[in-house]
Structure 1
């Protein structure tokens, strides 16, 4: 979504314009959105019967794709601070999905009850001073042996491409947060932390709760 200043790189931000977000997301993935999100779900290890928590779920696209993987007996809970985004998510989701309004730094989820925690294109929206807390919350809600997957935008390396991207999406999407995410995940006590990529747009950090 377009932003007017560098505040979103420094302070994060909540998206409230669900329709605009959906349009930008579909254009950004160039027809490969479903393929990309299904690959993220596979990388999370989600399987039938799992309980999955989707942090910063937005309009619930990843939530819905995860629901396909955990059927028929699993569930997916989407968490997002924007009521506007959640209204769209609830309208589009199957019965195996539920949604709750909250920030990632204070999850309304009991300790050790999730098999998987996933998050895509949300980390850079969390205010920097709350990002470590959010990752600790991800650790808290996972069961021992549970798997974490955090994916976020990976800006292009070419300076011209970065400039063009920033003109369309705002400065937050020019920031590569992969090192910050990896450090926060390791500091929270996760093990087997790995970093990869999913298509040109995303970096992906995965880890396991001991």
Structure 2
């Protein structure tokens, strides 16, 4: 059984979407999947987002709040990190482990329950591939809407290994999460939503990022 089957309520097809509802299992498998480098991997993602002291940050698809907790001390007590995830179980877990300047809410990326221009920075790590394909364009438009003008966006996704055998083995374990090329997954979603792409590229631990701003 692949990890995707073990963790997801439904995700039979890579574009069908799904939620993860087993936070403790997710945390344990996350540590294994990154071969002890999970903290280093997400620290690199956080650094790529370029958070600043006092930032109001939204973490879309926050899961257990792992990235949020890394961002929390960087934005300092004067800033705030809001995590959003469609799974009540994940939000409950994140809330129980939340630093003082982090809060978590249940919701979907394509229906963000926040006013326009509410945030300085929106991040989304390993979450876009969980969204139904038809919902992804609206989710990116919503991320643009809730950012202030000049606000920043950071999307991070898995990238499959270049070696065909390694790609097959990782895909067999992870399910749909690692069967895509992130460039194909994201396509033109980010500029089409109104963002100006600043940079993109590979990160360690089989990650890929796109950094953009709202004009």
Does 2:68 match 1:80? no
Matches within 5 A, 1:152-163: 152-163=157-168
Q: How do 1:1-210 residues align onto structure 2 when only pairs under 5 Å count?
A: 1-3=3-5, 7-210=12-215
> Distance between the aligned counterparts of 1:146 and 1:6, measured in 2?
32
Larger deviation, residues 53-62 vs 195-204: 195-204
Shift of 1:182: 4.7
Q: 1:61 to 1:131 in 2, by over 3 A?
A: same
Query: Deviations 1:102-139 (Å, cap 9, x if unpaired)?
Result: 01001111101100000111010000000000000110
User: Quick check: 77-86 or 18-27, which moved more?
Assistant: 18-27
CA shift at 1:189, angstroms? 1.0
The runs of at least 4 aligned residues of structure 1 exceeding 4 Å deviation read none
CA distance in 2, matches of 1:30, 1:145: 37
Alignment check: 8 A CA contact 2:16 2:131 kept: yes
Q: 1:82 to 1:6 in 2, by over 3 A?
A: closer
C-alpha RMSD over aligned residues? 1.6
Describe the SS at the equivalent of 1:135. Answer: helix
How far apart, in 2, do the equivalents of 1:48 and 1:195 lie? 24
Rounded Cα–Cα distance in structure 1 between residues aligned with 2:209 and 2:134: 21
* TM-score normalised over the length of structure 2: 0.92
Q: What displacement does 1:94 show?
A: 0.7
1:3 partner SS: helix
Q: CA deviation at 1:6?
A: 7.1
Query: Residues of 2 paired with 1:96 and 1:8: CA distance?
Result: 37
**CA–CA distance in structure 2, aligned partners of residues 50 and 182 of structure 1:** 28
* Runs (5+) with no aligned partner, structure 2: none
Hey, what's the Cα distance between the residues in 1 that align with 2:152 and 2:64?
23
Larger displacement relative to structure 2 (154-163 or 67-76): 154-163
Q: Relative to 1, partners in 2 of residues 1:67 and 1:6: Cα closer, same or farther, differing over 3 Å?
A: closer
Asked if the contact 2:15/2:131 (under 8 Å) is kept, the reply is no
